[in-house]
Amino acid sequence: MTATHCPYCALQCAMTLTPSAGDTPVEIAGRDFPTNRGGLCRKGWTAAELLNHPERLSSPLIRGDDGALRPASWEEALERVASGIRTVQDRHGRDGVGVFGSGGLSNEKAYLLGKFARVALRTSRIDYNGRFCMSSAAAAGNRAFGLDRGLPFPLADLDTADTVLLLGSNVAETMPPFVQHLAGARAAGGLIVVDPRRSPTALLTEDGAGTHLAPAPKTDLILLLGLAHILVNRGWLDDSYLAARTSGVESVIRSVAAWWPERVQAATGVPADVLVRTARRLADSARTGSCYILTGRGVEQHSDGTDTATAAINLALLLGLPGSARGGYGTLTGQGNGQGGREHGQKSDQLPGYRKITDPAARAHLATVWGVREEEIPGPGVPAVELLSTLGLPGGVHALLVHGANPAVSAPDAAAVREGLDRLDLLVVCDFFPSETARQADVVLPVLQWAEEEGTMTNLEGRVLRRRRALRPPEGARSELWVLHRLAALLGVPGGFPTEPREAFEELRRASAGGLADYSGISYELLDSGAEVHWPYPAGGGGTPRLFRERFAHPDGRARLVAVRPAVIPDGAAALGRDEFHLATGRLLEHYQSGAQTRRVTALLEAQPEPRLQIHPASAARLGIMDGAPVRVRRSGTGPFAPRLLCRAEVTTFIRLDTVFAPFHFADGASANQVTEAVTDPVSGMPEFKTTRVRIEPVAASSEGVTG
């Protein structure tokens, strides 16, 4: 038996793998662990089906002169990659080559991928798919607290909360074992869910368990400003906490003065009396109980996502929650290693240890660890959406290495991204299945799956975990550490790229030492001992399960309240045309990310074989759309030949009249990101996935296929 963790979300639920003589190479059992307590979701229970899937890649593939991918030896494939990189950099400079990483990579792989980009390729053009899901919350956390860790407290702390304000997260579907940690708040009637849909999580508030707030699209920021206004005007602030532990409160008090309850009601649609009751509940719980404020992608994946997350942090600070024993603030990391993946150098502006790439001291430290001159380390690159917009264009990226991501499906304006991928001189994809991005590649390199490799992951609590090998990989698959090692040697940088995860982690420890995300006191031996390990964990010290108890990470030890204001004051449905809607994208219980894995699991695909567009009955009736009928969704302002989403309608009262919802896990014509715009938050670079303006029309069932 092998003790390891689920390959999917950032809960990193513990599981045990036992060799099996059945249809899968291992049997999966849930293992007792603080995040899941033995439970798993449907994705976790069925994860073993992927380990011997018939579509598993087991040989490198190279695109031949006939345009088809053909099997090749590792030697031929890697030489093709190395020669292509050299050619592109000779023609277009170092930044002609880009790297696109993933929040699903282990800490060791994320670390060495960032090092490979900056030392072997010497390119600044590296970013990762975490830019699509965590960057606004990270930017808000860094400017408020001086440090970004999804949950600065153990998840089990929520068990004793009598009030939890959950904004923009559908945990009942995206990470079901999380729901057990909300039982206390539900029993106390204090679960408050903010979501434009009556999602499965919003339904948890019914029967006296809490409150569901369904604000109009683009008004989450105004809702939070309104709650802060009530706290200020009713005298419900924690004045002693604010005086002792924060700065900037005066500017925030001034900034919320204009958002009295009736004005917020007019903008959001949330009744003024409900706003007052919600603020009172938060204030009473913060004084006499245990209160937490949690944000998710629903309020962050907007062009003002950083400001909205900042407004949630401001609310928590006004209540005296962060760093206290009475509650706290956190954001729910999504991808399996979304936390660790953004700490060790995949982001365009960061170096390992959560260091800024523009910081001379950080650059000097990494230059010493890497054995290079500081001036050889490139400066900051560009965020993912901007990087992808330059593919194959003058001054842009002409060769792209993709590791563990599927931007052909997951990126906004996915049709334009696919066109960019086709323009490249060289596209290299490391994956274990032929994803949609891999199908466009010039070279596909088969790599290991989760149960075939050693390594570490960092979950949403900042808890560092061991991933353990339970199976031999297919004969032709290789570790990405080995791939990076071989490519570095072919590019003339033979040293400094270890192939063993333990050796890579030892270097990561040195690289992170002294940084905000300090792993220098962590070792495989410590993790194997069963100790609970939360970063920062400096050498000679201990871990930090609860951050900010004594001070925040800014030099003066204080948290920063930052005044934020809506860039535009929306006027609700009146801003939309008669047949226009706001399209929100999101997740389903059965699927994960771009669906490259879960669409290959029989039980999951049978349960959700295609996307459904949730639309209100009144809207459907006006457009002549029946439940289950095929519909076409196009971005407003585009012509008949623009990319469109084809799916079936799900007519439901669980969604607002002005909003429709589609999952983003499907590909080709069923891809919701055919329609989403490449509009980004100016601070974080996060795309606005939640409020694309669209038009919808019924489709004759025989005119266009509807398939996932």
pLDDT tens sequence across 12-26: 999 999 999 888 999
| Position 486 pLDDT exceeds 70 | yes
DSSP class of 173: H
pLDDT confidence tier of residue 706, bands split at 50, 70 and 90: low
Model confidence at 703: pLDDT above 60: no
Angle between helices 272-288 and 261-268 (to 10 degrees): 120
Residue 110 has pLDDT above 90, yes or no: yes
pLDDT confidence of residue 571: 57
H or E stretch covering 220: helix 220-233
Q: What is each CA distance from 551 to 171, 248, 541, in whole angstroms?
A: 30, 16, 17
Tokens 């919350």 appear where? 137
Output the average pLDDT for the chain. Answer: 95
Which two structure tokens, joined as six digits, stand for 519? 């792993």
Quick one: pLDDT at residue 215? Answer: 96
Q: In the numeric block, which tokens belong to residue 100?
A: 């696109």
231-286 pLDDT, tens digit each: 999 999 999 999 999 999 999 999 999 999 999 999 999 999 999 999 999 999 99
Q: How far is CA 357 from the centre of its chain?
A: 22
Pick from 351-355, 540-544, 571-575, 611-615: least confident: 571-575
Host H or E run for residue 203: helix 200-203
How many whole angstroms separate alpha carbon 87 and alpha carbon 130? 29
Identify the H or E element spanning 456. Answer: strand 455-458
> 3-state class of 428 per DSSP?
strand
708 band by pLDDT with thresholds 50, 70 and 90: very low
For range 41-46, the mean pLDDT: 97
Q: What is the pLDDT of residue 540?
A: 94
Q: Cα dihedral sign for 261, 265, 266, 268? A: positive
Sheet holding 291-295, edge to edge: 210-213, 191-194, 163-167, 291-295, 327-331
Cα 691–Cα 346–Cα 668 angle in degrees, nearest 5: 45
* Pairing outcome for strands 630-635 and 559-560: unpaired
pLDDT at 641: 76
- Let me know the angle formed at the C-alpha of 135 by 178 and 368, rounded to the nearest 5 degrees: 110
Per-residue pLDDT, averaged over 371-397, amounts to: 97
In this structure, what token pair is assigned to residue 677? 């715009």
pLDDT at position 574: 44
In the chain the domains, ranked by start, together with CATH numbers, are 75-133+339-528 (3.40.50.740), 136-331 (3.40.228.10), 573-698 (2.40.40.20)
Give the model's pLDDT for residue 155.
Answer: 97
How far apart (Å, rounded) are the C-alpha atoms in residues 311 and 331? Answer: 13
DSSP secondary structure code for residue 62 in this structure = E
Each residue of 536-594: pLDDT tens digit?
A: 999 999 999 999 999 999 999 999 999 999 987 765 444 687 789 999 999 999 999 99
The confidence band for 701, taking pLDDT boundaries of 50, 70 and 90, is low
Q: In one letter, which amino acid is 12?
A: Q
Q: Give residue 519's region: left, alpha or beta (phi > 0; psi -120 to 50).
A: alpha
Cα 246 to Cα 611: distance, rounded to the nearest angstrom: 46
Between 495 and 682, residue with greater pLDDT: 682
- Over residues 424-464, the pLDDT tens digits come to 999 999 999 999 999 999 999 999 999 999 999 999 999 99
